[in-house]
Amino acid sequence: MDARDLFRRLSAGAKFDTNRFKNDAVKFQLAPKQPSTISLSNSTLNTDSTSAQKNHQQENGFDNNPCEENEGYPTEDNIVDPRAEIKALRRERRKKTKTPKEVAALKKEEISRKRKAHKIHVQGSDIPTPVETFEELAQQFSIKEELIKNIQTRGYEVPTPIQMQAIPLMLKKREILACAPTGSGKTAAFLVPIIHCLGAPQKKGFRAVIVSPTRELANQTHRECVKLTEGIGLRCHVIDNVGKATQKFGPKSSQRFDILITTPNRLVFLLSQEPPAISLKNVEWLIVDESDKLFEEGRQGFRDQLGAIYRACDSNQIRRAFFSATFAFDVQEWCKLNLDNVVMLTVGQKNSASEKVEQQLIFAGSEGGKLMAFRNLIVEGLNPPVLVFVQTKERAKELYTELVYDGINVDVIHAERSQLQRDNVVKSFRSGQIWVLICTELMGRGIDFKGVNLVVNYDFPPSAISYIHRIGRTGRAGRPGKAITFFTESDGVYLRKIATVMRNSGCEVPEYMLQMKKTSKSDAKKMAKKIPTRKSISTEPLPDKIKRKKRERIIANVRKSKQNGQQGPSAKRRKIMTSNVKNN
């Protein structure tokens, strides 16, 4: 055994850096001698480059393990460490076949990558993977072809983030509290799983109930539901008129419907009849849309109403889901307490405005300044449709009276207008006949007017939540939008909150607004409920105003008596009234 053999045996399994210990390597014939001169002739370069490459590879190979077989070196005496070989084999095998633990870890990683990419946050156990395409959804849950077709007909190519996670959760019959930005497709996120879960019509009466805060929103959800159930046979119903509904929902007639969409007031009224005018005993899904609005404390707290609805849905199969664009701690607490193994699902940052809306604050100085600022916008060129928010119906009427002669197609919607008028206004705005629609908080939530280009907060919103919903009427379904908010000195107390919302959604706001004094939570709550006093919008001279008001009162009274089915005033009285109106 010579020195080289001895070295090889002693160094079996150990690493030997041939670069660092080049001289020793050469001495023990572990590396070839370096050529003393480098020939630069072409032929030498070519042949030598391959051998140099080989040498390099050999060096590297040897570097890693001196016992590996290396071409060009003596191999017959190589001593192979069997343990190292087994280890290498195992390593190789492990690379090919993954243990169940590794598979689970990889899947987990993939799921969290998907959630992160779509800003989906979940809290709860055993949450299904988000689905990124409707095809994936159809395959995984065997969704009916008709339903997928209806989704495609609506023009929905891929699910929105809230749909990616909420639909699989609800298809797995999980109870959820979901929060996602305005215009992000929450309606389809609950309608698609409900329609799938109900399957075919069963003539068992209502099996799903959707509660919406306003009649307008209930009607809109009903329209979407009708479109998504086409060809499936399920029948959806929206309670339009309580009187009619009481007649309609005789024990037999209500059997025809599968899905009910309603405001809480109407449903509670029907339930409170003796005997109840509606049965919810077969309800499998109860959806509360705009849940934080419905939880706001009012004269008739929704909590009580929800309690009544909840008790009436007494099937042991009942599942509940709460949806909203804004998050309220109270709702979360209620859900944690009352729902079964609830999953909290949030898309994006909680209580933030849609990133698709470009937001701007305009200091208008005074109430008069606001009217001038709005007229300026008209002069600069408004891009209809435009939605203008004011704080009360009186102010809505005043602004309408001011703008009606400005040569723009303007109309107004508020709670004092009849249902028919409200429906007609909404229709005209949707069809483009009305360019500028003046409205109150009534239209702040949920309403989906396609393509609203601009939202103007003529009156400063009373809270950050109200601001988020109001400006969320534009920038929907991925389209861009713009929101302008007028403010005067008296709005200073609210400014900081709105500026913070703006900054959080990526808009530039002056630093001084963010540095303004913080309002306490209790003060903010009080402020949200209290309507600030503002100087009238009207520029009408007082005598004219008094006459107009008188005229309006008379017309309203006539309308009211007609609506109540009264015979109306006698012929003599009618004559006096009409002459009054004419004289005025």
Q: Which residues bind ligand ATP (CB under 6 A)?
A: 156, 159-160, 163, 180, 182-188, 325, 446, 448, 450, 472, 476-477
Peptide bond into 213 cis (omega under 30): no
Of the candidates 306, 482, 271, 300, the residue with the CA atom closest to the CA atom of residue 382: 482
The three-class DSSP label of residue 79 is: coil
As measured in angstroms, the least distance from the Cβ of 204 to ligand ATP is 28
How many other C-beta atoms are found inside a 10 Å radius of the C-beta of residue 491?
A: 20
As measured in angstroms, the least distance from the Cβ of 451 to ligand ATP is 9
CB-based closest residue to ligand ATP? 185
HSE-up (13 A, CA, CB side) for residue 138: 13
The three-class DSSP label of residue 128 is: coil
As measured in angstroms, the least distance from the Cβ of 164 to ligand ATP is 9
As measured in angstroms, the least distance from the Cβ of 185 to ligand ATP is 3
Q: Contact 234/183 with Cβ under 8 angstroms?
A: no
Which is nearer to ligand ATP, 153 or 418 (by Cβ)?
A: 153
Instruction: Tell me how far CA of residue 429 lies from CA of 425, 437, 546, 568, in angstroms.
Output: 6, 7, 30, 33
As measured in angstroms, the least distance from the Cβ of 528 to ligand ATP is 19
Which is nearer to ligand ATP, 144 or 548 (by Cβ)?
A: 144
As measured in angstroms, the least distance from the Cβ of 480 to ligand ATP is 14
Q: Contact 255/249 with Cβ under 8 angstroms?
A: no
Which is nearer to ligand ATP, 448 or 459 (by Cβ)?
A: 448
Alpha-carbon gap, residue 286 to 319, rounded angstroms: 6
Which is nearer to ligand ATP, 293 or 496 (by Cβ)?
A: 293
Alpha-carbon gap, residue 388 to 400, rounded angstroms: 10
Alpha-carbon gap, residue 573 to 584, rounded angstroms: 16
As measured in angstroms, the least distance from the Cβ of 314 to ligand ATP is 29
Alpha-carbon gap, residue 96 to 70, rounded angstroms: 26
Q: Contact 287/319 with Cβ under 8 angstroms?
A: no
How many other C-beta atoms are found inside a 10 Å radius of the C-beta of residue 200?
A: 9
Q: Contact 487/458 with Cβ under 8 angstroms?
A: no
Q: Contact 478/412 with Cβ under 8 angstroms?
A: no
As measured in angstroms, the least distance from the Cβ of 560 to ligand ATP is 32
The three-class DSSP label of residue 220 is: helix
Which is nearer to ligand ATP, 397 or 470 (by Cβ)?
A: 470
Alpha-carbon gap, residue 306 to 299, rounded angstroms: 14
Which is nearer to ligand ATP, 166 or 260 (by Cβ)?
A: 166
Which is nearer to ligand ATP, 452 or 513 (by Cβ)?
A: 452
Which is nearer to ligand ATP, 171 or 364 (by Cβ)?
A: 171
As measured in angstroms, the least distance from the Cβ of 450 to ligand ATP is 6
Which is nearer to ligand ATP, 260 or 452 (by Cβ)?
A: 452
Which is nearer to ligand ATP, 182 or 279 (by Cβ)?
A: 182
Q: Contact 494/527 with Cβ under 8 angstroms?
A: yes
HSE-up (13 A, CA, CB side) for residue 359: 28
As measured in angstroms, the least distance from the Cβ of 49 to ligand ATP is 58
